[in-house]
Amino acid sequence: MSALVMARRRTLTWCGIVSVLLVVLVGVALSTGRLHVPFFDALRALFGVGDSPTVLVVRQFRAPRVFAALVAGAALAVAGSMTQRLLRNPLASPDVIGVTGGASCGAVLVLAGGLPAAWTPVAAVAGGLFVAALIGASAWRSRVAVTRLVLVGVAVQQGLAAVVNLMIVRFPQELAGQALQWTSGSLYGRTWTEVWVAGGAIAVVGAGAAVMHRRIAVLDLGDESAGGLGLDPRRARLGLVLLAVVLASLAAALSGPIGFVALLVPHVVRRVAGPPTAATLALTALVGAVLLLGADYIALNLLPVHGLPAGAVTATLGAPWLLWLMARSEQRTLT
């Protein structure tokens, strides 16, 4: 049996395992709360089967938050995987280089300004694209190496955080409170309208990423080899980066600036499934959904501090990982 077939079977096996874990986690999240609902009753209520109070609690109050976590987690993980491969940097991810910060800045303008919520995804994507263009232009003009691009993104991220804080302080208290809660990376108060709008857009962009995934594999061979195979490296890389930025921005519009999911998940998937393929991209989406939903469940039900956002849990998990990656990268540079 060839190594390729074995790797594919291993990836499909992991996809099955993570899918089962995802279903279990969804059932647990839907059944847990002030009103306890038995596990299988919660799953049935999700499809409208059961008594009216249970169906109301599960479908209207718990399910939108659960599915927002699934959609945003999957989008962030896929965006992180694409960013790391395109920039060839294990430290690169949309949250680290400032893309989600730009999306947050755009979304806060909508939230704190009292504009209709339907504008939030549009403003988030515009903010993410603006930051991506700013970082790209800065790197091109100063000829910043890809390995240093993360430092540029961190600087931009900090500047945007200051802008967001300024807007929150200056806007009316009731609107600023909503924006402040959102910028912490919280899934509180998500509605089906938000899930359907952002989720539908993420599904379309994610399908485009899956279709163009083979171009990433060609780019992995190097620009000269990709050109020899008939692919314009610059145009292909630009299109794929745009897809990754839009995915991350849409996720930020739905969940706020959740940190470290995009950074952590691609590394985990590479360790368990091996080199990236189309199948590992699906596994990446599944693991991202599990990670964010698990973080939200921990923040909501297992911690003594009430109202802690999911972003605080992912940051607790991801910060040590980022420090380890930076130390490992610096060690390689010195050697």
Q: Which amino acid, residue 206?
A: G
As a whole number of angstroms, the distance between CA 305 and CA 50 comes to 32
pLDDT in tens, 239-291: 888 888 889 988 988 888 888 899 889 988 988 887 777 788 899 999 999 99
pLDDT in tens, 280-303: 889 999 999 999 999 999 988 888
Let me know if residue 281 belongs to a domain: yes
pLDDT reported for residue 334: 42
The tokens describing 78, both together, are 């896929």
The answer to whether 78 and 247 have CB atoms below 8 angstroms apart is yes
* Total number of domains constituting the chain: 1
Let me know if residue 12 belongs to a domain: yes
Let me know if residue 216 belongs to a domain: yes
As a whole number of angstroms, the distance between CA 90 and CA 42 comes to 39
pLDDT reported for residue 74: 95
As a whole number of angstroms, the distance between CA 335 and CA 329 comes to 10
- Provide mean pLDDT across the span 14-32: 94
Domain that holds residue 292: 3-330
Give the chain's end-to-end CA distance (angstroms, integer).
38
Give the mean pLDDT of the chain: 82
As a whole number of angstroms, the distance between CA 83 and CA 150 comes to 11
The string over 136-167, giving b where at least 16 C-beta atoms fall within 10 Å of a residue's C-beta and e elsewhere, is eeebeeeebeeeebbebbeebbeebbeebeeb
Is the model's pLDDT at 123 over the cut of 80?
Answer: yes
Let me know if residue 207 belongs to a domain: yes
Task: Count other Cβ atoms within 10 Å, centred on residue 269.
Answer: 25
pTM of the model: 0.88
The answer to whether 283 and 7 have CB atoms below 8 angstroms apart is no
Most confident of 3-7, 75-79, 90-94: 75-79
Let me know if residue 128 belongs to a domain: yes
As a whole number of angstroms, the distance between CA 306 and CA 300 comes to 7
Three-state SS sequence of 265-319:
HHHHHHHHHCCCCHHHHHHHHHHHHHHHHHHHHHHHHHCCCCCCCHHHHHHHHHH
Residues with Cβ within 8 Å of residue 124, at least 6 apart in sequence: 103, 104, 106, 107, 249, 250, 252, 253
pLDDT reported for residue 58: 93
pLDDT in tens, 180-221: 767 778 888 888 988 998 889 999 998 888 888 778 878 877
pLDDT reported for residue 139: 60
Is the model's pLDDT at 22 over the cut of 90?
Answer: yes
pLDDT reported for residue 148: 63
Let me know if residue 335 belongs to a domain: no
The answer to whether 102 and 160 have CB atoms below 8 angstroms apart is yes
CATH of the domain at 293: 1.10.3470.10
Classified as helix, coil or strand, 250 is: helix
pLDDT reported for residue 95: 81
Residues with Cβ within 8 Å of residue 234, at least 6 apart in sequence: none
> Residue 129 — very low, low, confident or very high, per pLDDT cuts 50/70/90?
confident
Let me know if residue 242 belongs to a domain: yes
